[in-house]
Structures are given as structure tokens and as C-alpha cells.
Amino acid sequence: MMAPHRKSPNHIRELRERVQMLVRERLGGRVICTRCGATFSTYADKCDVDLDVRCPGFNVVDRVQMQAEKEVGLT
């Protein structure tokens, strides 16, 4: 969550917020999981795989997040 009212800047936190915003923008309303048909916003509700299984939706989110982290300079 963006908080422009901060009194002391926290650069790492701001970069993480930027990554989250980029992931939301890039995945938007498109379907990210071919197994359950979830979008980024419905992923938590629709996905029913076990926690130890990497589903296609998780892989898409992970890949987009890693790319965004590189772009903003977190990695």
C-alpha cells in the first residue's frame, strides 16, 4: 500500500511496493492459471491445489514478480 505521508523514507519498502504495483498492473484481469481459470485477483479463492504443488498460476505470478524485482533494482 502506497503511503506518501511517511516522515522517514524507507527505500526498500518503497521498492517492494513498486514491485507489487507492477505485478498487479501486468497481470490485471487476465487468466493466470489454466488449471482453475483464476485471474490474479481471484487466485486465492479459486486455486485448490495443495501448498506443496506449484500450479501454473503460481509460476506466472512468480515469474512476473521476479522480472519486476529486477526492473526496480531489488535483485
Write down the pTM of the prediction: 0.79
Closest to 36 in 3D by CA, of 55, 62, 63:
55
Which grid coordinates are listed for 27?
497481470
The neighbouring-strand residues paired with 39 are: 31
Q: What is the pLDDT of residues 20-72, one digit of tens each?
A: 999 999 998 899 998 889 999 998 888 888 888 888 898 999 999 999 999 99
